[in-house]
Amino acid sequence: MVLLVDVGNSNIVFGLSDGNTILKNWRLKTFLDKSSDELYILIKTLINDSFDDVMISSVVPVVTSALNKMFTKYYQLTPMILGPGVKTGVMLQADDPKSVGADMICDVAGAYRYFEKSIIVDMGTATKYIYQNKNTFMGVAIAPGVSISMKALVNNAALLPSIELQTPNHVLGHNTISCMQSGIIYGAASQVDGMITRIKEEIKDDDIKIIATGGLSKIIVPLCKHEIVYNEVLVLDGLLSIYNKNKN
């Protein structure tokens, strides 16, 4: 069994795999100040299953280092960390290939398991719109994520309160909270639809598959007008493909 770890700016997602599929997954808020000892206690409480290998994809170097020390010290395992020297199978059409984040590489590898070409909508700290064609990263558009947009609004408008991200019943609200929820939630869905339409026009492919992932996509995708496949563990799927490519 292999433990797959996706470290993002907002969340850390763990996935347990038998080498073929993701059997279980867990999600934690990303921590920046945990020692390897604290990490062990936290993860031991969360994950009771046994595993004999670890692979990490991370966009937060300080957490990568802490996890690496923890797995080495307490599990006697040296994690494979996605980075230079690791075969991904993903080709990168980018001015600076080194600037393409590990999360986006995993998105492409994961989407390619299901579709030869696709538009990937990854809704995390940032919302990323990635075009992949035959396991090649063809380009991306990056926008502020839903949570970041909400925090920016609240922090810069003295009279607006913090709210829960829930879908209101109507687009037009009649109180402050429902008005904000509508603008943020339906606005995000409209952005997704609009960006998909623009990307389809640019690549001249109206029939391309759309696949969405990320913590907030479960809320947003049902509100979109495009047909979108939701995959909660797309990054882990991609990380598993990369793991197998290097182990086999």
Q: At 197, which CATH number? A: 3.30.420.40
Same domain assignment for residues 74 and 134: no
Does residue 39 sit within a domain? yes
Domain end position, chosen among 36, 62, 85: 85
32-52: per-residue pLDDT in tens?
A: 888 888 889 988 998 989 999
**Residues 137 and 220 grouped into a single domain:** yes
Strands (E), 33-94: 53-58, 80-81, 91-92
Please state the rounded mean pLDDT for residues 186-196.
98
CA 197 vs CA 109, 128, 137, 205, 207: distances in Å: 23, 15, 19, 10, 11
Q: Do 142 and 73 belong to one domain?
A: no
Closest Cα partner for 3 from 98, 89, 68?
68
Residues with catalytic annotation?
103
Residues 124, 68 within the same domain:
no
Sheet holding 80-81, edge to edge: 22-29, 11-17, 2-7, 53-58, 80-81
Q: Are residues 140 and 39 part of one domain?
A: no
User: Of 63, 85, 107, which one is at a domain's C-terminal end?
Assistant: 85
Average pLDDT, the chain: 94
> Is 107 contained in some domain?
no
| Main-chain phi, psi angles of 65, to 5 degrees | -65, -45
**Which region among 50-54, 101-105, 131-135, 163-167 has the lowest average model confidence (pLDDT)?**
163-167
Least confident of 11-25, 36-50, 71-85, 95-109: 36-50
Based on the fold, state whether residues 129 and 75 are members of the same structural domain.
no
Assess if residue 109 is contained within a domain.
no
User: How far is it, in rounded angstroms, from Cα 68 to Cα 242?
Assistant: 18
Instruction: Write down the pTM of the prediction.
Output: 0.92
Strands (E), 86-222: 91-92, 117-123, 126-133, 136-144, 209-213
Residue 34 and residue 125 in one domain: no
User: What is the rounded distance in angstroms from the CA atom of residue 120 to the CA atom of residue 130?
Assistant: 5
Residue 235 lies inside a defined structural domain of this protein: no
Helix (H) or strand (E) segment spanning residue 196: helix 176-203
Do both 131 and 72 map to the same domain?
Answer: no
Examine residue 96 and state whether it is found in any structural domain, yes or no. no
Three-point CA angle 60, 61, 65, nearest 5°: 125
Q: How many domains does the chain have?
A: 2
User: Would residue 172 count as lying in a domain?
Assistant: yes
Q: Domain limits at 66?
A: 2-85
Do 224 and 140 lie in a common domain?
yes
Task: Find out whether 109 and 86 touch, Cβ atoms under 8 Å.
Answer: no
